[in-house]
């Protein structure tokens, strides 16, 4: 697809966000054709630029999250900045911010002030705890949010060695993507009504949808899930991570009966243990011992193309070399830095027919890279 035929072609986005949730949301919009202008503090830019590891002058994480955007460096505490931003706000379709509640208001950029300039703007605020409530101004990060909502308590690993989850679920799944969905809904509503709106995206609010099974179980049975003790948290033989003889792991998820029966046949589980309702702990113990006695290569061959929902856990490097993902073009994006070096960059979940050709090299902007272009246009 060409830039002019992408779904969000012509949509203008002002991005005041930093770190992960907001920048990823803005990146998805940019990948779908939106013109995203990142507003940063002069000199140092946003914090993510200075994280490790570096790739050229900037952090590689920043480069991946901000490719294809423009950068305008402004000191938002200066009154002059508001005058510069006013014409940009007038023509913007979307504004995304990620400060604590009240910060944008103190800067003169709260929703009411912005809506007076542009009543049609879709103004999206992403915060940990939302714009209202006793915790609205509490500082936090992903681990705090999943801890406060009970999600972390469902699977933390052994009590003496609790495990930090590998994915930033609150930031991405409960922050970035709800922001994207609601921005698109608000743009659709605006087509019908002509009015903009203020979206209050609270990451903690959106985490509860990941626990519908746990909430239902607790409310109906009175037995609230504990860490690692339930079906989808590793508490049964039907959904478990099994160590192998050579230090690898089998990810086994034969939940449905037909998959379970085939799994039992393949690992040769004793007949008396195959009805796992009788003695779940004994079934799990036996399955662990059987799989631990074999090497990962053996289990890979046994499970290959079998209907049992089992696989060998791969490293990230192995997964990125998987022909399945390569053939689907997942790593076809080309990311460049200021020195001309290039690396593949993953798509951010815009389906192929709705995104620009991934072979076009994209780069993240330097701090204030587009100041001259934008200021010249404003002054005309």
Please determine, for residue 164, whether its predicted confidence score (pLDDT) is greater than 60.
Answer: yes
Q: Are 276 and 283 in contact (CB under 8 A)?
A: yes
Catalytic, out of 141, 198, 200, 332: 141
pLDDT of residue 3: 65
Specify the pTM.
0.94
CATH number for the domain running over 3-208+359-379: 3.40.50.10540
Q: Are 283 and 273 in contact (CB under 8 A)?
A: yes
- Count other Cβ atoms within 10 Å, centred on residue 137: 14
At residue 282, what are phi and psi to the nearest 5 degrees?
-65, -40
pLDDT of residue 380: 66
Angle at 164 between CA 159 and CA 168, to 5 degrees: 150
Q: pLDDT tens across 246-305, in order? A: 999 999 999 999 999 999 999 999 999 999 999 999 999 999 999 999 999 999 999 999
pLDDT of residue 354: 80
Taking residues 115-132, report their average pLDDT.
98
DSSP state of 65: H
Which value, to the nearest 10 degrees, does the dihedral of the CA atoms of residues 137, 201, 49, 38 take? -120
Whether 370 is catalytic is no
Please determine, for residue 1, whether its predicted confidence score (pLDDT) is greater than 60.
Answer: no
Catalytic, out of 35, 171, 205, 276: 171
Rg (CA), the chain: 25
Whether 198 is catalytic is no
As a whole number of angstroms, the distance between CA 159 and CA 147 comes to: 15
- Count other Cβ atoms within 10 Å, centred on residue 377: 11
pLDDT tier at 349, thresholds 50, 70, 90: low
Any idea how long the chain is? 380
Q: pLDDT tens across 328-341, in order? A: 888 888 999 999 99
């Amino acid at each position: 697809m060409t830039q002019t035929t992408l779904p969000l072609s012509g949509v203008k986005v002002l991005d005041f966000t930093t770190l992960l949730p907001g920048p990823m949301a803005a990146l998805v919009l940019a990948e779908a054709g939106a013109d995203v202008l990142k507003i940063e503090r002069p000199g140092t830019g946003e914090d993510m630029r200075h994280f490790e590891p570096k790739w050229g002058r900037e952090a590689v994480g920043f480069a991946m999250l901000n490719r294809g955007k423009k950068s305008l460096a402004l000191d938002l505490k200066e009154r002059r900045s508001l005058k510069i931003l006013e014409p940009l706000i007038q023509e913007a379709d979307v504004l995304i911010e990620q400060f604590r509640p009240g910060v944008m208001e103190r800067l003169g950029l709260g929703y009411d002030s912005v809506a007076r300039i542009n009543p049609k703007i879709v103004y999206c605020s992403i915060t940990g705890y939302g714009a209202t409530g006793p915790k609205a101004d509490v500082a936090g990060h992903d681990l705090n949010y999943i801890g406060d909502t009970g999600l972390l308590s469902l699977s933390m690993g052994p009590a003496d060695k609790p495990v930090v989850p590998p994915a930033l679920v609150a930031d991405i799944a409960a922050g970035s993507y709800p922001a994207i969905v609601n921005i698109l809904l608000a743009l659709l509503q605006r087509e019908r009504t002509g009015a903009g709106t203020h979206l209050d995206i609270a990451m903690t609010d959106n985490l509860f949808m990941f626990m519908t099974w746990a909430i239902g179980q607790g409310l109906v049975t009175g037995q609230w899930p504990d860490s690692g003790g339930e079906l989808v948290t590793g508490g049964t033989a039907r959904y478990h991570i099994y160590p192998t003889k050579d230090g690898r792991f089998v990810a086994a998820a034969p939940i449905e009966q037909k998959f379970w029966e085939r799994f039992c046949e393949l690992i040769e589980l004793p007949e008396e243990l195959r009805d796992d309702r009788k003695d779940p702990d004994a079934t799990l113990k036996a399955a662990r011992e059987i799989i631990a006695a074999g090497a990962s290569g053996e289990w890979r061959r046994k499970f290959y193309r079998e209907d049992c929902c089992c696989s060998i856990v791969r490293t990230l490097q192995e997964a990125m070399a998987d022909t399945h993902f390569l053939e689907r073009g997942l790593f076809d994006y080309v990311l460049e830095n200021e020195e001309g070096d290039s690396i593949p960059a993953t798509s951010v979940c815009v389906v192929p027919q709705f995104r620009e050709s991934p072979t076009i090299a994209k780069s993240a902007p330097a701090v204030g890279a587009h100041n001259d272009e934008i200021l010249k246009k404003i002054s005309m």
